[in-house]
Amino acid sequence: MENETPNREELDLSRIIEEAIQKAYAQRDPENSGLRSELAQERKKREQMEKRLNELVDENRRSQQQAEQAERFAAVKAELQQLGVGKVELAFRGVKDEVVRGEDGRLYGKGEDGTLSALREHLAAWVAANPEFQPARIAGGAGAAPSRPASTASGFPLERIRPGMSPEELEQARSEIARVAAQALGQAL
């Protein structure tokens, strides 16, 4: 019996050693342990973070482009306004695609031949070539309102001339008309 006990202890000991070795290998081998699933989860989290980071980088780039474009458009509109353009928005639509930012950060106008010139020079040349965007020089012509006020120095408004006026008002109107006609002819009464 004593002989059987050591054998049994040896078997138990060898079985315990085998089990310990298997556990040790199982811990090293991710397929047999839960480490493989943890690694997969960590990889998935990392990929999601990388994807989100790339989205944020793209969003930042787009917002910077929009800010630069807004700044460029504002500069072009301000320059057109300083050049005396009457219809700034309409002129801006015609010239906005010709304006680029140079490597030095300044705005340039791209000519028809592809050459770059300073923004002010480019827009001045464009406005000179397209005078229809400038306000009219002479505010007269058929259908234009008179530039002088309707009431005169005597205080009789010409708009009050109408049929059926009293004799006093009629006399005031006649004298006012005579005075205005004399001024027009260069004579003073």
Residue 178 makes CB contacts below 8 A (sequence gap 6+) with 189
Integer Cα distance of 130 and 127 in angstroms = 5
For residue 170 the two structure tokens come to: 């009629």
- Identify the band that residue 188 occupies on the pLDDT scale cut at 50, 70 and 90: very low
* Phi, psi of 101, deg, nearest 5: -100, 130
Contact 48, 56 (CB under 8 A): no
Predicted local distance difference test score (pLDDT) of residue 24: 75
Averaged pLDDT of the chain: 79
pLDDT in tens, 38-90: 888 899 999 999 999 999 999 999 999 999 988 888 888 888 888 888 888 88
pTM: 0.48
Please check the confidence at residue 140 and state whether its pLDDT lies above 70.
Answer: no
Higher-scoring residue by pLDDT: 99, 154: 99
Higher-scoring residue by pLDDT: 57, 146: 57
Q: Strand, helix or coil at 118? A: strand
- Identify the band that residue 127 occupies on the pLDDT scale cut at 50, 70 and 90: confident
Predicted local distance difference test score (pLDDT) of residue 62: 95
